[in-house]
Amino acid sequence: MDMRDQEGDAEGETPADARCCQARQLMAGVAVAVATTILLMGLLLHLVVLAPEVDQPSEASAQELMERLQRCHKEQHDLNLMLHAVTQDSRCSLCPGGWLWWRSRCYFFSVGLQENRRWNESAEFCQQHDSSLAVIKDAAEMDFIQGVMRKFPQFPFLWLGLTDVEQEGLWLWGDRRDVQHYMPLTVQWDADHRDCADLRAGGSLFANSCEDYGPWVCKRDS
């Protein structure tokens, strides 16, 4: 499945923005074509109406027609500029293919795109793509990731950038912040042999064996 087809959050600034670029381009292109056709039809209709009245148009009539034609060209030029502006929306190209754009960040959800991996292998994949396993910093980001998970029932869980491998019971995000630094979160099922955290439905974090295979989510700046 192509993760770019996901919908975003209610704020309107979502990864659907990336998906919307194609729709915007198509709509803008149709608008330009329709508007250009209308302008040209209007000019032709004017000529048809005027023709029976004047066998040989006067110099003033010819000048008027020329001015109308110039206005048509200018309006078409303006519409083309609008189309160019829409297609140059920075959000359309800031994330690599298969990644989702959301709030100036790019996210990669591995389901449907990569085979499941162990936690360390997932982290290595993210590093190879100039990113890291996701660090969730606020409720809106949690809602965004949960929304993607709900769209794909294959998500048993998601590997995140959260581990207590350095000191048992001290859960640290990949940026060295404590698990509760950003949000009041706790890691359930903590045990000596479960040193990597995963995200499940409802925004719950669970301790899991780092050797288990599962999907993951990478995060990088756009």
Residue range 111-123, pLDDT digits in tens: 989 999 999 999 9
| Burial of 216 (C-beta count, 10 Å sphere; 0-12/13-18/19+) | buried
Give the domain CATH number at 194. Answer: 3.10.100.10
> Which range marks the domain in which residue 159 is found?
107-221
Is residue 26 domain-resident? yes
Instruction: Give me the pLDDT at residue 6, please.
Output: 42
Do 120 and 86 share a structural domain?
Answer: no
pLDDT tens track of the chain, all 222 residues? 444 444 343 334 444 444 455 444 444 444 545 555 555 555 555 555 544 544 555 666 777 777 777 777 666 655 554 544 444 455 556 899 999 999 999 999 999 899 999 999 999 999 999 999 999 999 999 999 999 999 887 778 999 999 999 999 999 999 999 999 999 999 999 999 999 999 999 999 999 999 999 999 999 998
Which sign does the torsion angle of CA 120, 126, 129, 132 carry?
negative
Is residue 102 domain-resident? no
Domain count, the chain: 2
Instruction: Give me the pLDDT at residue 125, please.
Output: 98
Is residue 72 domain-resident? yes
Which of 71, 65, 66 is CA-nearest to residue 48? 65
Last residue of a domain, one of 41, 62, 92: 92
Asked whether 210 and 221 are in contact (CB, 8 A), the reply is: no
Do 162 and 113 share a structural domain?
Answer: yes
Written as six digits, the tokens of 104 are: 């100036």
Instruction: Give me the pLDDT at residue 65, please.
Output: 75
Last residue of a domain, one of 92, 120, 144: 92
Q: Is 46 left (phi over 0), alpha (psi -120 to 50) or beta?
A: alpha
Last residue of a domain, one of 92, 122, 137: 92
Instruction: Give me the pLDDT at residue 26, please.
Output: 44
Question: Three-state DSSP class for 216?
Answer: strand
Cα 128 from Cα 98, distance rounded (Å): 15
Question: Three-state DSSP class for 175?
Answer: coil
Do 157 and 59 share a structural domain?
Answer: no
Is residue 54 domain-resident? yes
CA dihedral 166, 170, 171, 175 (to 10 degrees): -60
Secondary structure letter of residue 102 according to DSSP: E
Do 180 and 111 share a structural domain?
Answer: yes
Do 158 and 72 share a structural domain?
Answer: no
Written as six digits, the tokens of 166 are: 């350095």
Residue range 39-86, pLDDT digits in tens: 555 555 555 554 454 455 566 677 777 777 777 766 665 555 454 444
Beta-carbon neighbour count of residue 57 at 10 Å? 15
Do 203 and 136 share a structural domain?
Answer: yes
Cα 158 from Cα 216, distance rounded (Å): 5
